[in-house]
A = this chain, B = another copy of it.
Amino acid sequence: MQLKKVAEHVHARLVGNGDVEIGAVASIESASVGDLIFVEEKANLPRALESAASAVLVGDFGAGESSKPLLVCAQPRLAFARAARFLAPASHRHSGIHASAVVHPAARLANDVTVDESVVIGEGAQIGSGSRIGAGSVIGAQVRMGNDCELHPNVTVYRGTRLGNRVVIHAGAVLGSDGFGYVREEKTGHYEKFPQIGRLEIEDDVEIGANSTIDRGALDITRIGRGTKIDNLVHVGHNVQIGEDVVIAAQTGLSGSAVVEDNVVIGGQVGIADHVRIEEGAILGAQSGIPSNKIIRGKGIVFWGTPARPIREYLKELAVLAQLAKKK
């Protein structure tokens, strides 16, 4: 593909020879001829220009003279991501249902759905156009899935779960499993199961990482809002409400009925107890912990520690303590 076509697609200003052929994206270190690379900080530009890459995506700082053709734009990393998708080879999708898959006769699949080896699709499930189900995945009865979803292998989707469009689920993830709710019988001390008969709803453009687990609601609905991205091995409990464009890093856990508003950023291994509310735009540092029923408020403010507090306070406490210990 000619560089000028890439420039046009990503809305970048072309500086230099636009007829150069670009075949793929690469990192500065691994680039070879035909690759497009990107630079976010001016300091890295010389290294980029010395690489074997055929062209460089740069921020506005890069508009000067250059030994390689440049694509100049405001968000070079974003443009790079878009260029990567633009250049990616069309996967030769063998749209169709593999002979080893078992699709219930009362499931409704759009014409161009791809169902890989050993997939199981239950009664009454609906799968929208362009969606792909990876090998070994099990789609329960009455599941509804929109268009252009991609489920990687060995995913389990419990009965009745609903997915929007363009939802990506990585291998081994479990969607719609029973929440962790029991009632203790006072006399015997035995735990009896509280009904876990609600539903899980995942909105458009959500991506969920490998081996993460998202429970269905107990009586109502667990919801993951549009555009939210969840990393590997994350746990989301029953009745949790997650807003739009939320980012949750690996191994974080959200207990039952927690609420996470839009645009929140949550680090790895964070623990959010039941009935917590994380208000819009707050940022939770890795490993922080929010006790039950707490509200975390503060757009753009970073919280850290257990119990989580504004990071400035937390760091001050750490410094004071270290000082005291040194004196002893």
The residue on B at minimum CB distance from A291 is B286
A34 at the interface (CB under 8 A from B): no
Contact of A271 among B152, B237, B286 (CB under 8 A): B286
Interchain CA distance A286-B328 in the complex, whole Å? 26
Interface size on A, residues (CB 8 A): 100
Task: Name the distance in Å between A1's Cβ and chain B's nearest Cβ.
Answer: 15
Q: In the bound complex, do residue A209 and residue B177 qualify as a contact, i.e. CB atoms below 8 Å apart? A: yes
Contact of A286 among B205, B215, B289, B317 (CB under 8 A): B289
Q: A29-B220, A213-B232, A320-B324 are in contact. Are A153 and B152 (CB under 8 A)?
A: no
- Which residues of chain A from 265 to 304 have a CB within 8 Å of any chain B CB? 267-269, 271, 273, 286-287, 289, 291
Interchain CA distance A42-B233 in the complex, whole Å? 39
Contact of A156 among B153, B218, B319 (CB under 8 A): B153
Chain B positions within 8 Å of A78 at CB level: 183-185, 192
Chain B positions within 8 Å of A185 at CB level: 75, 78
A93 at the interface (CB under 8 A from B): no
Task: Name the distance in Å between A154's Cβ and chain B's nearest Cβ.
Answer: 5
The residue on B at minimum CB distance from A245 is B189
Q: In the bound complex, do residue A227 and residue B170 qualify as a contact, i.e. CB atoms below 8 Å apart? A: no
Copies of chain A in the complex: 3
Interchain CA distance A109-B171 in the complex, whole Å? 24
Task: Name the distance in Å between A149's Cβ and chain B's nearest Cβ.
Answer: 14
Chain B positions within 8 Å of A180 at CB level: 209, 229, 231-232, 249-250
Interchain CA distance A321-B152 in the complex, whole Å? 48
Q: In the bound complex, do residue B210 and residue A237 qualify as a contact, i.e. CB atoms below 8 Å apart? A: no
Q: A156-B152, A182-B229 are in contact. Are A219 and B320 (CB under 8 A)?
A: no
- B-facing mask of A185-221, CB < 8 A → 1, else 0? 1100111111101000000010101110101001110
Q: In the bound complex, do residue A158 and residue B171 qualify as a contact, i.e. CB atoms below 8 Å apart? A: yes
A134 at the interface (CB under 8 A from B): yes
Q: In the bound complex, do residue B253 and residue A251 qualify as a contact, i.e. CB atoms below 8 Å apart? A: yes
Q: In the bound complex, do residue A191 and residue B263 qualify as a contact, i.e. CB atoms below 8 Å apart? A: no
Chain B positions within 8 Å of A220 at CB level: 27, 29-30
Task: Name the distance in Å between A36's Cβ and chain B's nearest Cβ.
Answer: 11
Question: Which one of A15-23, A44-52, A62-70, A115-123 contacts B?
Answer: A115-123
A164 at the interface (CB under 8 A from B): no
A97 at the interface (CB under 8 A from B): no
Interchain CA distance A267-B237 in the complex, whole Å? 13
Q: A180-B232, A220-B30 are in contact. Are A118 and B102 (CB under 8 A)?
A: yes
Chain B positions within 8 Å of A250 at CB level: 180, 213, 235, 237, 253, 255
Known contacts A88-B195, A118-B118, A118-B120, then 19 further A-B pairs from the complex at CB < 8 Å, ordered by chain A residue: A25-B195, A81-B183, A88-B197, A102-B117, A118-B136, A135-B138, A138-B153, A152-B158, A170-B174, A171-B177, A172-B213, A193-B207, A213-B233, A286-B291, A309-B322, A317-B321, A320-B321, A321-B321, A324-B324
